[in-house]
Amino acid sequence: MNNALGATTSAGPTVFVVYGASGDLAKRLVMPGFAALAAADLLPQRWVLIGSGRRATPDEEYREHVRDGLREFARGKSGVTDEVIDTILPGLRFAGGGFSEDDPGELLDAIAAAKAEVGEDAQVVHYLALPPSTFQSYTKAIAAHGLAEGTRVVYEKPYGTSPESFEELDRLVLSVFDEQQVFRIDHFLGKEATQQLHVIRFANRMIEQLWSNEHVAQVQIDVPEVLGVDDRATFYDETGATLDMLVTHLLQVAAEVALEPPADWTSDALAQAREAVLTKIRPVDPAEVILGQGTGYQEIKDVREGSTTDTFVAARVWVDTERWQGVPFVLRTGKKLAESHQNVTLVFKRPLNSPQKDDEAAPETLTFTLSGNGSVFAGVTARRPGVSDDLVPGRLYLDLAELPNAEPLPPYAALLRDVLIGDRALFTTSAGLRDAWRVVAPMLDERPELHPYEPGTWGPQAAEAIAAPFGWLTEQQSS
């Protein structure tokens, strides 16, 4: 199923080329997503996947590499079993010798052989599972070797590392490909729980009627992580929390929350509604941003000496539409924090005639969890049963995994599926990313002070003011 409600389609014969096939991203996310599609019987009937890399590698050795990665990162999840893994391996090939403008290595021959196997009219998909610094050179190489026409190309994030580098990359990409060929991935948009934001809102009148500044005092988009950068240090040190998460995931989720009713329920209309509201997000005020770096970050292998990369960011942004005027959207993410969750929370204004007079009482909330299968819960106030007149917090809860016939796909699997069938609804466009860069440009030009924080805490103490007067609503506080 794709992102137009109820729409389905199938992919024809496909040659899927993964650049950076031996890297961490391909091992942890891309290939597990591919395996999840196999487990759900959502791959094309005829396909070949070609891994591209520098080292000459026999196909069988590459298959063993993929088998090991899938056993570590995919087995036991989303229906991926050893039997599913075994069904994938025969379709894998490897093209060594690298790939550049001057030298295509073994890739052209590998693509020609794959087309001879699955069909000369096979769709070719280029997946750049590579650091952003290589996107331009690989785009030029694809063009130089005649591999652009009629194909699709997937770019990982971040798509550029500054407004200027974004514009430079985007001009190059759109000189090689048409916009409809380009899939700029954002796996938060691929989360089925993220898509529930607009479904639950518009399909339920009792919720839709509350979705505005008349009732909402604050929106929190909160994605703390207990994990560090692990073996992604080289990549992460080039980006940090702002570029890795804020420009891409968090602003896109904010747009999902703030969008106006789409013209209809087609994928294009939903994407247009999301991107229309991105144009209304005000450029961030650096005074409303807190950056942090965890103690010990600079000692991590492959982190540059004296690095000023931020591993924490909290920001207050404003959506200048009639619906959301005056409501702060507060965004937070960071590494090695006290808790991991991925929550979108609407914090409601206190009812005018509430029997609850205590200003310290927990606010009424509606929270969407975006991790795992997702859930929705409302934080409400009720009278404690018994002889007491105490008012206490409670929760109304919906576990999305318990819905009938619930079989959620992992985000990367869902997005890979959309690439295969050509559905761009959950991918960022050139215009949408331009607006995201416009929003963060002031804090890049006038970078806020970098605050140290200890691992296992909630980050810099100064970030608490960003979420005032409610404070950050953690899982522990809302349970």
Is 416 assigned to a binding site?
no
Residue 216's alpha-carbon distances to 271, 332, 346, 365, in angstroms, are 24, 19, 6, 9
What is the rounded radius of gyration, in angstroms, for the C-alpha atoms of the chain? 23
Is 191 assigned to a binding site?
yes
| CA nearest to 221, candidates 98, 1, 368, 364 | 368
Q: What angle do CA 293, 328, 437 make, to 5 degrees?
A: 60
Is 225 assigned to a binding site?
yes
Is 22 assigned to a binding site?
yes
Residue owning tokens 């591999």: 147
Q: Looking at this protein, which amino acid is placed at residue 294?
A: G
In our burial notation (b when 16+ CB lie closer than 10 A, e otherwise), range 149-183 reads: eebbbbbbbbbbbbbebbeebbebbeebbeeebbb
Is 77 assigned to a binding site?
no
Is 25 assigned to a binding site?
yes
Is 240 assigned to a binding site?
no
Residue 162 has φ and ψ, to the nearest 5°, of -165, 165
Is 210 assigned to a binding site?
no
Residue 86: burial class (beta carbons within 10 Å; 0-12, 13-18, 19+): exposed
Q: What angle do CA 435, 441, 443 make, to 5 degrees?
A: 135
Is 20 assigned to a binding site?
yes
Is 420 assigned to a binding site?
no
Residue owning tokens 């770019």: 155
Is 208 assigned to a binding site?
no
Q: Are 43 and 96 in contact (CB under 8 A)?
A: no
Is 267 assigned to a binding site?
no
Is 69 assigned to a binding site?
no
| CA nearest to 415, candidates 174, 260, 195 | 195
Active site residues: 249
Residues marked as binding for NADP(+)?
A: 20-27, 54, 157
Residues marked as binding for substrate?
A: 187, 191, 225, 244, 335
Residues marked as binding?
A: 20-27, 54, 157, 187, 191, 225, 244, 335
